[in-house]
Structure 1
Amino acid sequence: MDYHNKLILAPMVRVGTLPLRLLSAEYGADITYGEEIIDHKIIKCDRVVNEYLGTTDLVEKGTQSVVFRTCPEERDRVVFQMGTSDAIRALKAAQLVCDDVAAVDINMGCPRSFSISGGMGAALLSKPEIIHDILRTLKRNLNTPVTCKIRLLRTSHDTVELARRIEKTGVSALAVHGRRVPDRPRDPAKWNEIADVVAALSIPVIPNGDVFTYEDIVRIKIATGASSVMVARGALWNASIFSPQGKLPWEEVKKEYVRKSILWDNEVKSTKHTLKEMIMHHSCLGLEEGKAVIKSETLADLAKLYDEEDYFQFINESR
């Protein structure tokens, strides 16, 4: 997969499921990352072809819950992101899904305590030997492209040194979130430090952080020297950010997300969580819409809430 001159949907926990990925692609995203899934969970799954929906699912043994769902339509652009701290386990997990996705990505930037306590995510930033072991093991054993995503280290020099070590493993691209581990989302992303990484590497470096409009996409390219851009919260709040024609009205985008959730039978908790995140940005969850989303128990309830009952009925009758 080519990572040059691409608009990319960032990996976002509980949000980056099939409906948002397809919605983002419809509006102009060239590459779409799935949410991070932990290797322990993946290796407890069976790969199941869902002929009813036309999807390929990773289904957890015992609970029968769908951990990851993809479809042929996104085969050439979806990136499967994994949380791991062990090369052998990472390979075992990647082998379950690699034939159904365009690339496999290792999360090395998540600052959540769950990830760090398990030696995953941002905990890997201080363990270059383990990073090397994981990435080289995947590169040697998979035909699928391998990438990773990091955060900034304590100094720009440290970030560049780590990025150079990562490049030597043979990864196809490196995404860099322009914040350090202790930084909060309200802290400005340090585009200038991402620019140092771009200048030091020959593989594509993908900047991420503080991209909320199409104009920001242009600005971060100029500021960093990168040709591709990764968008997280800006895409969650309005996936049409990827459209060069400009954003569509938020209400329209939200309804289209609901329709895609119905079409692909997205898990209702995931759908509700994504809608709540959208609503919280544009208004207060205490408003009637937010309360109604929280009270909804099924996709049918959400279809009724957003006046998509006819669509819900049509989809269910046509299956």
Structure 2
Amino acid sequence: MIDQTVSRLCYRNKMILAPMVRVGTLPMRLLALDYGADIVYCEELIDLKMIQCKRVVNEVLDTIDYVASDERVIFRTCEREKNHVVFQMGTADAQRALTVARLVENDVAGIDVNMGCPKEYSTKGGMGVALLSNPDKIEAILSTLVKGITKPVTCKIRILPSLEDTIQLVKRIERTGVAAVAVHGRRKEERPQHPVHCDIIKAISEAVSIPVIANGGSQEIIKEYAGIEEFRQLTNASSVMVARAAMWNPSIFRREGLLPAEKVLKEYLSYAIKYDSHYSNTKYCLCQMLREKLESAQGKKLHAAQSNEEIWREYPPQITPKMILLEWCRKQKLPQPVYVTVQRPSDRLFNSVVTVADKNYSSSCWDKTKKVVEQSTAIVCLRSLGLSDGRLCEGENPFTHKRKRDEEHASNTESTGSTSLDTNKKKQSITDENMTTDFRL
């Protein structure tokens, strides 16, 4: 029985954002979903790394984090993508794979084993394409996962030197009970500049009953939305996995057509700030989106950037007061702001109090939206501390104002934490003890 998520993927010709090293992070996955992708993959994560992680509920970011012993976040996800994200792992051991799958299965839509990665970091541990020469181990890993978890299991392979051997392998994979198999139409020694073998993917699709997901068409075929369907038809596949084309411009999933790179960059940055993306991930993704524009003056500055602050200066995104306050607390090595938001029974409006450095700040603003009152409370706190509140009035951007104190650069640094403030242009009055200020939302 194929899980509904996978069947929707395979039988309605929906598209997937494939995993790429340092690309399948949360900001990029959410952006792909915004533009129309139905299923997104995380970047390949190694079982030995994941097995050491603890599951942590991050109340500040509203995320679920899998955190290593050295406090690094190895995998971050959120409620928005829970029914759309496939967790892809690199593994060469059935029991380790099962342990990791059981750890994350309640936070994801499915589990995928990457048997198509030709990179040394994967193959030297017997993972990736190294598994293709060991079908017994492939069968053991996939069978163990299928029997051991409730979510659908898939895998991704590359084609073997002969079509007959490839079909035999896929038939053996099919017998394990997996929900689908993705086929990258290149051999392990071939790279993106080599032609994708659509004819081989097509032969595999016609030889097995399991849904086949075609992968590898970015360089030659998939240049806009129509190319996704063209690739599917050429391969007779159930669906299409898009990797590099989606990395270059995630709006490839828009039926209406590609969006300008500048717009996509800024939308990506908003997610990168909201979900506290490490600057190296952010920089990598932006460089991939710029591609030929990397030689421009702005592109060269981005390529040389060594911090989020330098990136934000070149591509200033929309910053919310909650983001600014959180970054200021981080820079001052203070605990993260804590918001207590209550609803008034009489009219069901919300009000909020934020605690920073053991002091409470509140707003007189009552609103039907929790997000609005928390942002207004953050503004009260920022102004009480003598900091810029980064007002989102028309024509204003907090990055355009000079800072008088070092801590007021917080809005330019590594950021996180909140959805954007609702811009409804109505006036509110906010207070903190004896302070009253008008501001525009």
Instruction: Say whether residues 1:201 and 2:211 are aligned partners.
Output: no
Which deviates more, 98-107 or 86-95?
86-95
Query: Runs of at least 4 residues of structure 1 off by over 6 A?
Result: none
Instruction: Work out which of the residue numbers 89, 97, 100 in structure 2 matches 1:82.
Output: 89
Q: Output the CA distance in 2 between the equivalents of 1:196 and 1:164.
A: 12
1:257 aligned residue:
268
User: Quick one: which amino acid aligns to residue 128 of structure 1?
Assistant: P
1:55 aligned residue:
63
3-state secondary structure, aligned to 1:226: coil
1:292 is displaced (CA, Å) by: 2.1
2:409 aligned residue:
none
User: Quick one: which amino acid aligns to residue 52 of structure 1?
Assistant: V
Which deviates more, 235-244 or 222-231?
222-231
For residues 189-215 of structure 1, the C-alpha deviation after alignment (integer angstroms, 9 at most, x for no partner) is 111100011111212100011233212
Instruction: Say whether residues 1:147 and 2:154 are aligned partners.
Output: yes
2:292 aligned residue:
282
Q: Output the CA distance in 2 between the equivalents of 1:147 and 1:71.
A: 21
3-state secondary structure, aligned to 1:104: strand
3-state secondary structure, aligned to 1:240: helix
1:33-182 map, 5 Å = 33-61=41-69, 63-182=70-189
Higher relative CO (Cα under 8 Å, sequence separation at least 6) belongs to 1
Q: Is the 8 A contact 1:258 1:302 kept in 2?
A: no
For residues 46-100 of structure 1, the C-alpha deviation after alignment (integer angstroms, 9 at most, x for no partner) is 1111001000011111x20111100000000100000000001111111111110
Q: Output the CA distance in 1 between the equivalents of 2:194 and 2:304.
A: 33
Q: Which has the larger radius of gyration?
A: 2
2:252 aligned residue:
241
Q: Output the CA distance in 1 between the equivalents of 2:37 and 2:160.
A: 28
1:223-234 map, 5 Å = 223-234=234-245
Which deviates more, 210-219 or 143-152?
210-219
1:294 is displaced (CA, Å) by: 3.5
1:179 is displaced (CA, Å) by: 0.6
Q: Output the CA distance in 2 between the equivalents of 1:266 and 1:302.
A: 12
Instruction: Work out which of the residue numbers 28, 46, 69 in structure 2 matches 1:20.
Output: 28
1:302 aligned residue:
311
Q: Output the CA distance in 1 between the equivalents of 2:237 and 2:127.
A: 27
1:222 is displaced (CA, Å) by: 1.3
Q: Output the CA distance in 2 between the equivalents of 1:114 and 1:124.
A: 14
Aligned residues: 315
3-state secondary structure, aligned to 1:180: coil
3-state secondary structure, aligned to 2:186: strand
3-state secondary structure, aligned to 1:11: coil
Q: Output the CA distance in 2 between the equivalents of 1:178 and 1:316.
A: 46
**If each structure's helix is expressed as a fraction of its own residues, which one has the higher value?**
1
Q: Is the 8 A contact 1:212 1:235 kept in 2?
A: no
3-state secondary structure, aligned to 2:177: coil
1:286 is displaced (CA, Å) by: 4.1
Distance 1:65 1:312, change over 3 A: farther
1:299 is displaced (CA, Å) by: 2.9
For residues 268-291 of structure 1, the C-alpha deviation after alignment (integer angstroms, 9 at most, x for no partner) is 111111112222x232x3432233
Instruction: Work out which of the residue numbers 189, 210, 227 in structure 2 matches 1:216.
Output: 227
For residues 279-312 of structure 1, the C-alpha deviation after alignment (integer angstroms, 9 at most, x for no partner) is 2x232x343223322443433432222122x525
Q: Output the CA distance in 2 between the equivalents of 1:49 and 1:109.
A: 32
Distance 1:182 1:312, change over 3 A: farther
Q: Output the CA distance in 2 between the equivalents of 1:212 and 1:230.
A: 14
Instruction: Work out which of the residue numbers 13, 24, 37 in structure 2 matches 1:29.
Output: 37
Q: Is the 8 A contact 1:300 1:312 kept in 2?
A: no
User: Quick one: which amino acid aligns to residue 145 of structure 2?
Assistant: L
Q: Is the 8 A contact 1:236 1:278 kept in 2?
A: yes
1:311 aligned residue:
319
Structure 1: tracts of 5 or more residues without a match: none
Q: Output the CA distance in 1 between the equivalents of 2:75 and 2:265.
A: 22
Q: Output the CA distance in 1 between the equivalents of 2:202 and 2:163.
A: 10
3-state secondary structure, aligned to 1:311: coil
Distance 1:19 1:72, change over 3 A: same
1:188 is displaced (CA, Å) by: 1.1
User: Quick one: which amino acid aligns to residue 72 of structure 2?
Assistant: S
TM-score (normalizing by structure 2): 0.69
User: Quick one: which amino acid aligns to residue 76 of structure 1?
Assistant: N
1:227 is displaced (CA, Å) by: 3.0
3-state secondary structure, aligned to 1:144: coil
1:314 is displaced (CA, Å) by: 5.4
3-state secondary structure, aligned to 2:60: coil
Identity of aligned residues (%): 49
Q: Output the CA distance in 2 between the equivalents of 1:68 and 1:20.
A: 13
3-state secondary structure, aligned to 1:170: coil
Which deviates more, 73-82 or 270-279?
270-279
3-state secondary structure, aligned to 2:209: coil
